[in-house]
Amino acid sequence: EPEVTQTPSHQVTQMGQEVILRCVPISNHLYFYWYRQILGQKVEFLVSFYNNEISEKSEIFDDQFSVERPDGSNFTLKIRSTKLEDSAMYFCASNGGTDTQYFGPGTRLTVL
Amino acid sequence: GNSVTQMEGPVTLSEEAFLTINCTYTATGYPSLFWYVQYPGEGLQLLLKATKADDKGSNKGFEATYRKETTSFHLEKGSVQVSDSAVYFCARSSGGYQKVTFGTGTKLQVIP
């Protein structure tokens, strides 16, 4: 069964550093998303992406964040200058045009 | 805005007990409703869904019925197992490729 994959599974970085989280969505899907889950809290929407542009973004997704689909398979989330409060689990999801999003296993980001 | 409210956890049950996790949603539009499950150390897995009023989603012995009159989508299982121990998230989307809005999650612990 096709699945969304994410790398790395755990990323540790120093405050102020740039990080790039990578996702490979399901191959025939066209809609892509990033969510995050701060430890012990709810899963929050960050951004949706379709046709090479952002469809919607939340207030969390400020100028420090960017997304890109650099080739036909990867979908990345970049945090330009990480802050302590960016420590969270980041989930990528993709959607083939139905009402169902399929989530990857997540990348745990730890900012020291 | 759109929101989902689910019962606080943790919920601790003995094996073979009956499970109910309550969930209510805001009635804006005609949302699709979901239950996602997160096993320890893993990502989000779609457990079941329902897309219109009176639909019943079911999977792995879990069921939930889309109740428009009470704006509810309660999760039930007749006989839980230790392997059902996880965090359960109720969620909604406005359909199609729209973002998913999650509840706060309910941690279920099943003891032998």
Q: Are A16 and A86 in contact (CB under 8 A)?
A: no
Q: Give tens-digit pLDDT for A45-96.
A: 999 999 999 999 999 999 999 999 988 789 999 999 999 999 999 999 999 8
DSSP bridge pairs for B54:
none
Chain B residues within an 8 Å CB radius of A56: 99
Q: Do A99 and B44 touch (CB under 8 A)?
A: no
Give one DSSP letter per residue of A23-88, joined into a string.
Answer: EE--TT--EEEEEEE-TTS-EEEEEEEETTEEEEE-TT--TTEEEE--SSS-EEEEESS--GGG-E
Q: Give tens-digit pLDDT for B25-84.
A: 987 778 999 999 999 878 889 999 999 999 999 999 999 999 999 999 999 999 999 999
Residues composing chain A:
112
DSSP state of B98: P
Q: Do A105 and B42 touch (CB under 8 A)?
A: yes
Taking any CB pair shorter than 8 Å as contact, residues of chain A touching chain B are: 31, 33, 35, 41-45, 48, 50, 55-56, 91, 93, 95, 97-106
Q: Do B101 and A55 touch (CB under 8 A)?
A: no
Phi, psi (degrees; rounded to nearest 5) at B84: -80, -5
Look at residue B82 and give its three-state secondary structure.
helix
What lies within 8 Å, CB to CB, of A45 at 6+ separation is A33, A35, A58, B99, B100, B101
